[in-house]
Structure 1
């Protein structure tokens, strides 16, 4: 999965009607709530076979922080 693929998946997960980018602050995304955190945990598990604790997700400030949680070997360039 590429970063762009991840952004598309995140848009689908959050059901946004606008395009997301890596530099966006999560606090500015109205749809980013506790349900989104749960869905993200499942996305990381299903797509990357990794477990990300809710604490780590809650500490993320930007979308790029969410991407940084994915091991580099699991991402395509």
Structure 2
């Protein structure tokens, strides 16, 4: 009673194919695969950018920030209304 047997899963698969059709299931599978690939690429790019941001450029002191970055920073607390 706890787990389903192979025959139960085959019946469920047959019902899903009959309800959705093979073409729609193929489209869902390719969309899901594309989303997973995009997520993995985003995570990989995010770690590469974080590694690059951790090292200061040549000739720049690690603690200093350019004046342009200070002007473009938005303080979240300042934007909230009292």
Task: Give the TM-score of the pair, scaled to structure 1.
Answer: 0.23
Larger Rg: 2
Q: Which has the higher helix share?
A: 2
Higher relative contact order (CA 8 A, sep 6+): 1
Task: Give the TM-score of the pair, scaled to structure 2.
Answer: 0.22
